[in-house]
Amino acid sequence: MDWRVVVRAGVIGIAALVAAAPPVRAQEAKPVPRPYRALFGGDASNLVYRHQVSMVVSLNAGLDNGLAASPGTGATTGGTQVAGIYSAGTRLSYALSDRHVNAGAAAGTNLPYYSTLPGVKELAFDASGNLSYLWNVTTLGVTASYSRSPFYSPAFEPGTGAAPLTGEAGFARNPNEMKSATAFLTRRLGRLTGVSVGYEAFSLTFLDEDRSSTSHAVRLSGDRQVSRSLSLTSGYGHSFWSYGPSESAGTSGSDDADIGLRYIRPSPTGRPFTFSAAFGVSTADYQSGRSTGWRGAATLSKVLSATWTVSANYRHTIRLDSAVTEPVWASDVSAAIGGPFGRRVTVAATASYSKRERTTAGAAGFDSYSLSTDVLVAASSAVAIAVNYLYYRYQFPAGYTLPTGVSSKLDRHRLQAGVRIWLPFWRAGRGFTPTGTGQQRGG
């Protein structure tokens, strides 16, 4: 099948949906300026409830040419076999917005099905939660997540710069489970100075083979405000990694230190510009050797309008790569833009580039590219038509040990369309949203 034909058909289909979708009541202009619910249950203007419980049901179908072969077949498709991909999923979520506490919890299931793997009918599921507590000059936050899937896609692990799409089923038939957790404590020591301590943990286990990786990291940082818009930052972190087969698991770790700045240009129209950058050094121990190099990061974001935002990120550091099960020097660049187009369409797009280099000699580095777009077209205030396009490309040179079923080269396209139904089950109380100086009531 010629993918140029598929992409053209997708573009024509998106244009037809945009042209045909009628305006819905929740999106029509209001006679007076007041907060109101945006497209598909979103919240563009700050109508916040203290308690909210809702569910999203999604049904999707499309084409995917990136499916790798099942474990044990001794071959992979490398992106040459076009398969029909179908999925059905639900996600139930709860949100709490109070003066001092913001919390959320969500759980979802997804049943992916590939036409070229008719025997694979395994359910994917995930759960996550978050809690933040603000009291005077102290903020405490924790998050946790768990997922289990019959397919694995290294592009959508934390730290790769790419963001997963709703209903993403991966590409390699390899059951796996991921766990992650973060915690941080921030305290203002005065009007101009603050400190923060954070912890992160991540683990990936491949269930059909004796292969896993785990990482832990702690970081201490501080900031000093030197003007109304400019702050100076500094930080030190330590990471510990465990990887490989359980009977011969390897361990290593890294230390890093950096200094930087953060600039926030306020805007009277509520459209601030934010820029931050940091530069330092990282040192890692691996296989009785030591690797030292520079580390750096830069982030910028701009609120273009009341609902449109654009952002870009760059990071260079040493980290454990779960796909190759070893630490690598990683350079990641990503950019994202999103917002409504008219009164009935929401558009989001993310592009990323990643480059990895071994901390030891013996193999060349590898890189990957990804592009994802997501278009929502309102059919009503609770029903939307969703169209997604995904492009993902990488190539591993010889010398890397990859998970079972993961091809060394991939040039993947996926075009998918479906229906999303938003079900607001329960909303109670008037919530609070943060402002520049404190808290305020929403709604």
CATH number, domain of 182, equals 2.40.160
Q: Check residues 140 and 321 and name the one with the higher pLDDT.
A: 140
Task: Place 72 in a pLDDT band, splitting at 50, 70 and 90.
Answer: very low
Across the range 324-349, mean pLDDT stands at: 87
For 69-191, where are the E strands, in sequence order?
Answer: 83-97, 101-114, 124-135, 138-152, 172-188
Say what the pLDDT of residue 363 is.
Answer: 63
Residue 274 has pLDDT above 80, yes or no: yes
Task: Place 398 in a pLDDT band, splitting at 50, 70 and 90.
Answer: confident
CB 419 within 8 A of CB 63: no
Quickly count: other Cβ atoms within 10 Å of residue 41's Cβ. Answer: 17
Residue 183: C-alpha distances to residues 96, 131, 140, 217, 345 (Å): 19, 10, 8, 11, 36
CB 337 within 8 A of CB 308: yes
Give the C-alpha separation, 63 to 379, whole Å. Answer: 23
Say what the pLDDT of residue 246 is.
Answer: 61
Q: Work out the mean pLDDT of the chain and round it to a whole number.
A: 79
CB 44 within 8 A of CB 307: yes
Residue 435: C-alpha distances to residues 8, 185, 341 (Å): 44, 20, 27
- Residue 155 CA, chain-centre distance (Å), reads 10
Task: Place 158 in a pLDDT band, splitting at 50, 70 and 90.
Answer: low
Say what the pLDDT of residue 82 is.
Answer: 82
CB 117 within 8 A of CB 86: no
- DSSP-assigned letters across all residues of 39-103: GGG--SS---EEEEEEEEEEEEEEEES-PPPPTTSS---TT---EEEEEEEEEEEEEEE-SSEEE
pTM (2 decimals)? 0.80
| Residues in CB range of 401: below 8 A, 6 or more apart | 324, 325
Q: CA angle at residue 252 from 295 to 399, to 5 degrees?
A: 85
* Residue 36: φ, ψ to 5°: -155, 160
Across the range 67-87, mean pLDDT stands at: 59
Structural domain that includes position 380: 3-441
CB 131 within 8 A of CB 101: yes
Task: Place 233 in a pLDDT band, splitting at 50, 70 and 90.
Answer: very high
Tally of residues, the chain: 443
* Residue 298: φ, ψ to 5°: -150, 140
The SS3 assignment for 136 reads: coil
Phi-psi region of 342 (alpha: psi -120 to 50; beta: other; left: phi over 0): left
Q: Check residues 137 and 307 and name the one with the higher pLDDT.
A: 137
Token representation of residue 68 = 């790798």
Query: What's the domain count of the chain?
Result: 1
Token representation of residue 322 = 């779960």
Task: Place 47 in a pLDDT band, splitting at 50, 70 and 90.
Answer: low
Q: b/e string for 105-138 if b means 16 or more Cβ within 10 A?
A: bbebebbbbbebbeeeeeebebebbbbbebeeee
Residue 31 has pLDDT above 50, yes or no: no
- Of 91, 88, 85, the closest CA to residue 111 belongs to 88
Which helix (DSSP H) or strand (DSSP E) does residue 265 occupy? strand 250-265
H helices present in 328-396, as ranges? none
